[in-house]
Amino acid sequence: MSTLVAPNSPGLSVRRDVPAVEVKGLRKEFRRRDKRAGRFARRRMPALADVTFTIERGECVAILGQNGSGKSTLVRLLSTLLINDGGEARIFGHDAFRESRAIRKLVNRVSVEASFFKKMSASENLSYAARFYGMPPSQTRRAIPEILEKVGFPADRRTEAMENLSRGMQQKVALARALLTSPVLLLLDEPTTGLDPRSKLEVQEFIKDVRVTHDATILLCTHDMAEAESLADRVGLLDRGELLFLEPVEDVKARYGVDTLEQAFFAATGRAFEEEANEDDEYREVFG
């Protein structure tokens, strides 16, 4: 990754004396229809409730949670796509809700959906995305083939429309897009969900490689406990908007006196991890 070119980021500075991510009492609510209370009635539904945690620079932290637990809401808040209802979030000292321009230069994201212009090729999608970060054609001509090669994307498919690529291939391009801009904070929102086992392994290996070769702090949101355990320094559990713990896996197991994270989840919530989401969880999943 050492050959990657950083974007032009005028006036951008990354403080070393502050945590990479500092979240204090962060709250987010959504309003949903309440048919029982009347046709136009709405009620507030917490998506995140007083979430507090810190991630140090260079750390990889995994946040586990079921569908609708608030993982994506957290990622969207940190990537300036949502505005909070309370509390605060700082990224390298910058207020995530008041200094969104500064934050956007520092953060990039890989989500569960590939999110590309489907008729455009991998190279074209990466090219225009890089322009948004100030990378001119002279930079991307070299950087795009390099990053695509690095994620294991075949050179002969660079000009093929994204709609003709498999999910695994598309997710590699999504990783390439995130890393092309050399973010200091990488937000991974279920990056391996829906991938076949081989693609999943490749993406996980790449994330490990990024940790070694790239000075990036990683926040990984996932519902894959094995993935969290193998990739992260610390694991947190988000349950219905509340962060129940965030600590090294061994400490979690010791805290609940259990052998696995599944058992820890049961001990912490009284529910099995695979248990189906309720109606509110589904709503959070859609709007968060």
Partner 1 sequence: MTATGVGSTEPARSAGTGFAGAGARTRATLRQELIGLGGIVERNIYLTKRYLLWDLAFMVWTIANTLTIVFIARAVNVPPAQENELATKLLVGAVIWAFLGIIFEFVTETVAWERWEGTIEYTFMAPLSRPTHLFGMGAYAVLYGLIRATILFFAVAAFIGIHIPNANFGAALALLGIASFSFIGIGMMTSVLPLISPEKGAQLGFVAQGMMLVVSGVYYPVSVMPGWMQAIAKISPATYALRGDRASIVDGAGLAWADVWPLLVIAVVAIPVGLAIFRAGERYAKKHGKLKRSG
Which parts of this chain interact with partner 1 (CB under 8 A)? 1-17, 30-31, 73, 76, 79-83, 101, 104-107, 109, 111, 113-120, 124, 127-136, 161, 177, 181-184, 213-216, 287-288
The whole-angstrom separation of Cα 250 and Cα 259 is 9
Tell me the one-letter amino acid at 281.
D
Shortest separation between residue 278's beta carbon and partner 1, angstroms: 19
Q: Between 68 and 249, name the residue whose CB sits nearer to partner 1.
A: 68
Shortest separation between residue 146's beta carbon and partner 1, angstroms: 11
Q: Between 100 and 269, name the residue whose CB sits nearer to partner 1.
A: 100
User: Is 258 in contact with 268 (CB distance < 8 Å)?
Assistant: no
Q: Between 115 and 260, name the residue whose CB sits nearer to partner 1.
A: 115
Q: Between 15 and 33, name the residue whose CB sits nearer to partner 1.
A: 15
Shortest separation between residue 192's beta carbon and partner 1, angstroms: 18
The whole-angstrom separation of Cα 36 and Cα 5 is 56
Which 8-state DSSP code applies to residue 103?
Answer: H
CB atoms within 10 A of CB 242: 16
Handedness of CA 26, 31, 34, 38 (dihedral sign): positive
- 242-247: strand order across its sheet: 107-110, 185-189, 217-222, 60-64, 234-239, 242-247
Q: Between 118 and 255, name the residue whose CB sits nearer to partner 1.
A: 118
> Which token pair is 136?
């001119």
> Which token pair is 177?
């897009």
Q: Between 96 and 220, name the residue whose CB sits nearer to partner 1.
A: 96
Count H helices and E strands in the chain, helices first. Answer: 10, 10
Q: Between 134 and 152, name the residue whose CB sits nearer to partner 1.
A: 134
Nearest Cα neighbor of 154 from 123, 126, 177 is 123
Distances (CA, A) of 110 to 87, 116, 163, 190, 256: 25, 12, 18, 8, 32
User: Is 247 in contact with 103 (CB distance < 8 Å)?
Assistant: no
Shortest separation between residue 270's beta carbon and partner 1, angstroms: 28
Shortest separation between residue 262's beta carbon and partner 1, angstroms: 30
Shortest separation between residue 129's beta carbon and partner 1, angstroms: 7
Shortest separation between residue 46's beta carbon and partner 1, angstroms: 13
Phi/psi of residue 11, nearest 5 degrees: 75, 5
